[in-house]
């Protein structure tokens, strides 16, 4: 059946392309800051082809439209784009051209490729430009054609910004800014243009609500040695925020005025940016300005990245407390699932709702740090499973329920995964579960020298599984923000890094997840995720030793543990951990029945 709605939209888009002299128009999946989640305003690709998966790029010419997505979405994309005339290009499949290859073989010499340069990261833009140079293709990146065609387009997200107290943040904006300016001086920069939302929020001690699950505002910042300009939507600025900004010396400009601001700059000195975090349009405009003013555009890692990643003592104190409370609620949830399963109606979705509600009642709750993953049995083997109210599977008294969840509170952002036994499980599952737990604990108990990266320690989490010929196809750990994004860099625990991935050393005060897993298609999925703090140890003639401390204290399901698959060191590690869980969490549990159950659930084996 023809999808006339999409076809009509494409027709109007093509008319606008023609007006602008654009031969090919490209629509990726991003906001202006490469955020993990994009608001509806940014769902241009979905508007013009119907496909709403989390990864996809639509390319439209007068004769053709093609959409590229990855293996997770082939079936969904076929269905959603049926009747639109848009061709599906299956990424990484044999004989399927990449977008670059497609453009290179289809575009004629001298043609124009258009896209909204704000939704394309600089690296991608530069790559397209250099590859298409041989075809003498030029880029037009300053026009958002969707704006002209999409009449009922949702507005930009626009929510009140709020101020975190210096007490809650441990450091004032002025204090952090002075460190940033020191770094600018070291790098020889007089102006620093910062586009990364969580970095700007960290630096200013402001928070917002413009990106799903990320407590950030849409913003840019321009920092000089004697000024700080924050670009935000006027309507987001409350009186409180206004008076805070006045007091600490933050000059406010409109979010939409950022490019005109750059274009009008009359002096800047050398300009610092981090290409990885700057969109292509901003990068280009800054580049033009630098050339015009005869200054250098310095590309370096955002200095805020490391400052933000290494939590200060106040942040750490608050994080530890928040994780304890969060762990206690999770513990109660585990109890609830295990005692109620098979007795009351329960689906993946209602279980998740239960947990979300328990968290929402905690003091200082702001929002979930990501949509809760609740996956029963075989569903847990799917890496990107998301249960909706309608599609959710019934949770029965058989097998396991995997729940990966977390929240942002005034005091920290949490993330934790537990896989709970809800009924009979096979010996194979016990083997997989036990090895996963051993891996999690071995990594958590590592001692290592400063200078080690996630690549050095990853094998500790994976080795028990690798011994069985099993791997999990995801990283072992990611950084986590403070009242900020649940995924942050630069640290990363993984066994291999692709080019462009940052292999940063683990440093004291960093927070990382430790989440090995087993995923057996059609059968079961296991993931056990604790969050760890990197702690400073001894310094001696060999260097500075570091180790981890747990932030997460929630029971690991002993019903799925088989001691026969553990060394005595692994058994000791589990017993030690469980003792800490009981000691730390039981005081936070009101219900005596649950405390009693926890005692048993954390018994030494």
Binding site for a copy of itself (CB under 8 A): 446-449, 451-452, 455-460, 463, 466-467, 469-471, 473, 495-496, 537-538, 540, 542-543, 545, 567-570
CA torsion, ordered 68, 74, 79, 85, to nearest 10 deg: 30
User: Cβ distance 379 to 387 under 8 Å?
Assistant: yes
Smallest distance, a copy of itself to C-beta of residue 176, A: 30
User: Cβ distance 410 to 366 under 8 Å?
Assistant: yes
Helices 99-106, 122-132: axis angle to 10 degrees equals: 30
When the beta carbons of 257 and 503 are compared against a copy of itself, the nearer one is 503
When the beta carbons of 62 and 467 are compared against a copy of itself, the nearer one is 467
Sheet holding 112-114, edge to edge: 87-90, 65-69, 57-61, 24-27, 112-114, 138-140
Smallest distance, a copy of itself to C-beta of residue 496, A: 6
When the beta carbons of 291 and 567 are compared against a copy of itself, the nearer one is 567
Smallest distance, a copy of itself to C-beta of residue 383, A: 13
Smallest distance, a copy of itself to C-beta of residue 544, A: 10
User: Cβ distance 137 to 113 under 8 Å?
Assistant: yes
When the beta carbons of 472 and 553 are compared against a copy of itself, the nearer one is 472
- Which 8-state DSSP code applies to residue 365? E
When the beta carbons of 230 and 532 are compared against a copy of itself, the nearer one is 532
Q: What is the CB neighbour count within 10 angstroms for residue 469?
A: 6
Smallest distance, a copy of itself to C-beta of residue 466, A: 5
214/208 Cα distance (integer angstroms)? 8
Helix ranges (H only) for 239-347 are: 239-248, 258-264, 280-293, 303-309, 313-340
Q: How far is CA 233 from the centre of its chain?
A: 23
Smallest distance, a copy of itself to C-beta of residue 291, A: 25
Smallest distance, a copy of itself to C-beta of residue 521, A: 8
- The residues, any chain, with a CB within 8 Å of residue 382's CB and separated by 6 or more, are 375, 519, 525
Integer CA distances (angstroms), 351 to 277, 405, 512, in order: 37, 12, 26
When the beta carbons of 152 and 568 are compared against a copy of itself, the nearer one is 568
Helix ranges (H only) for 135-279 are: 146-149, 166-169, 173-187, 197-204, 239-248, 258-264
When the beta carbons of 9 and 462 are compared against a copy of itself, the nearer one is 462
When the beta carbons of 109 and 521 are compared against a copy of itself, the nearer one is 521
When the beta carbons of 293 and 571 are compared against a copy of itself, the nearer one is 571
546/201 Cα distance (integer angstroms)? 29
Smallest distance, a copy of itself to C-beta of residue 432, A: 13
- Which 8-state DSSP code applies to residue 85? -
Q: What is the CB neighbour count within 10 angstroms for residue 71?
A: 10
Smallest distance, a copy of itself to C-beta of residue 214, A: 32
Smallest distance, a copy of itself to C-beta of residue 540, A: 6
User: Cβ distance 229 to 260 under 8 Å?
Assistant: no
When the beta carbons of 112 and 459 are compared against a copy of itself, the nearer one is 459
Sheet strands (E) in 496-550 = 511-514, 517-520, 524-527, 530-540, 543-550
C-alpha dihedral sign at 58, 61, 62, 65: negative
């Amino acid at each position: 059946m023809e999808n006339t709605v999409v076809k009509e939209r494409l027709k109007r888009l093509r008319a606008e392309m023609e007006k602008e002299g654009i031969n090919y128009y490209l629509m990726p999946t991003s906001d202006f800051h490469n955020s993990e989640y994009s608001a509806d305003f940014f769902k241009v690709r979905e508007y013009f082809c119907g496909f709403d998966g989390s990864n996809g790029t639509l390319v439209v010419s007068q004769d053709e439209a093609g959409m590229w997505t990855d293996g997770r979405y082939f079936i969904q994309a076929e269905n959603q784009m049926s009747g639109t005339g848009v061709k599906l290009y299956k990424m990484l499949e044999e004989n399927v051209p990449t977008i670059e290859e497609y453009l290179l073989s289809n575009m004629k010499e001298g043609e124009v490729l258009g896209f909204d340069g704000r939704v394309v990261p600089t690296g991608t833009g530069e790559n397209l430009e250099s590859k298409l140079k041989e075809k003498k293709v030029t880029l037009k990146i300053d026009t958002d054609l969707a704006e002209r065609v999409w009449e009922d387009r949702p507005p930009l997200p626009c929510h009140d910004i709020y101020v975190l107290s210096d007490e809650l943040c441990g450091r004032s904006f002025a204090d952090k800014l002075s460190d940033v300016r020191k770094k600018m001086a070291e790098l020889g920069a007089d102006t620093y243009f910062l586009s990364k939302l969580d970095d700007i929020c960290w630096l200013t001690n402001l928070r917002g609500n413009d990106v799903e699950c990320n407590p950030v505002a849409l913003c840019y910042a321009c920092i000089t040695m004697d000024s700080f300009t924050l670009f935000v939507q006027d309507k987001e600025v409350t009186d409180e925020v206004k008076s805070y900004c006045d007091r600490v010396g933050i000059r406010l400009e409109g979010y939409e005025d950022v490019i005109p601001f750059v274009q009008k700059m009359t002096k800047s000195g050398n300009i610092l940016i981090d290409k990885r975090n700057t969109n292509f349009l901003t990068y280009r405009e800054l580049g033009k300005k630098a050339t015009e003013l005869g200054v250098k555009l310095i590309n370096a890692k955002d200095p805020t990245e490391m400052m933000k990643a290494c939590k200060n003592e106040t942040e750490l104190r608050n994080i530890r407390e928040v994780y304890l409370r969060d762990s206690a609620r999770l513990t109660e949830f585990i109890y609830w699932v295990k005692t109620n399963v098979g007795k009351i109606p329960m689906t993946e979705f209602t279980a998740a709702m239960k947990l979300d509600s328990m968290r929402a009642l905690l003091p200082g709750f702001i929002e979930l740090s990501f949509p809760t993953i609740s996956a029963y049995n075989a569903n847990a083997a799917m890496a990107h499973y998301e249960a909706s109210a309608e599609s959710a599977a019934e949770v029965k008294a058989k097998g396991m329920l995997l729940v990966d969840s977390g929240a942002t509170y005034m005091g920290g952002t949490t993330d934790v995964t537990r896989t709970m036994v809800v009924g009979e499980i096979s010996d194979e599952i016990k083997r997989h579960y036990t090895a996963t737990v051993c891996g999690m604990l071995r990594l958590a108990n590592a001692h290592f020298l400063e200078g080690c990266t996630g690549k050095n320690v990853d094998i500790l989490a994976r080795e028990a599984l690798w011994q069985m010929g099993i791997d999990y196809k995801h990283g072992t750990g990611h950084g986590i923000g403070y009242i900020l994004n649940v995924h942050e860099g630069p640290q990363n625990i993984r066994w291999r890094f692709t080019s462009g991935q940052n292999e940063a050393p683990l440093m004291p005060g960093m927070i990382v997840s430790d989440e090995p897993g087993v995923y057996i298609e059609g059968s079961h999925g296991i993931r056990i995720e604790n969050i760890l703090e990197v702690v400073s140890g001894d310094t001696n003639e060999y260097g500075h030793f570091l180790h981890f401390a747990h932030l997460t204290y929630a029971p690991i399901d002993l019903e799925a543990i088989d001691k026969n698959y553990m060394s005595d060191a692994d058994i000791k590690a589990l017993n030690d951990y469980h003792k800490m869980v009981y000691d730390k969490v039981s005081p936070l549990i009101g219900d005596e029945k649950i405390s009693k159950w926890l005692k048993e659930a954390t018994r030494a084996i």
